[in-house]
Amino acid sequence: ETGVTQTPRHLVMGMTNKKSLKCEQHLGHNAMYWYKQSAKKPLELMFVYNFKEQTENNSVPSRFSPECPNSSHLFLHLHTLQPEDSALYLCASESGDGPYEKLFFGSGTQLSVL
């Protein structure tokens, strides 16, 4: 148990669906991340939020829309996805205010787009 909870654990959606991924951290952290991991590829950083403000958007297509209503919750809203968006989506958090940090990751949401 890392203190970072992601739901759902698995998600299957059609290309016309709208769905949301949820991440919650119980660590009192101020920074939260979304990473994407396609099969047999390295983790790709998607978004970073620090103190609820988006500080990084790594050229992510607009069909992925993040939302960070408070420092404990992070969402990834999905709409009109493509089959190549099928991947493991990982959320992570860190305290965000220290000189040397470590990320705590959730178990991820395995997304399949049909």
Closest CA to 35 of 45, 25, 48, 26: 45
Q: What are phi and psi of 83, to 5 degrees?
A: -55, -35
Q: Which residue among 17, 20, 30, 80 contacts other proteins (CB under 8 A)? A: 30
x-or-dash string of contact with other proteins, 45-84, rule CB under 8 A: x--x-x----xx----------------------------
Q: What secondary structure letter does DSSP report for 16?
A: T
What Å distances lie between residue 90 and 25, 75, 98, 99, 104, CA to CA?
A: 13, 11, 22, 23, 10
| Residue among 14 and 38 whose Cβ is closer to other proteins | 38
Question: Does 10 help bind other proteins (rule: CB under 8 A)?
Answer: no
- Which part of the chain contacts other proteins (CB under 8 A), choosing from 14-22, 63-71, 76-84, 85-93? 85-93
- The residues near 17 (Cβ < 8 Å, ≥ 6 apart) are 78, 79, 81
Q: Give residues in contact with other proteins (CB under 8 A).
A: 2, 4, 30-31, 33, 35, 42-43, 45, 48, 50, 55-56, 88, 90, 92, 94-108, 110
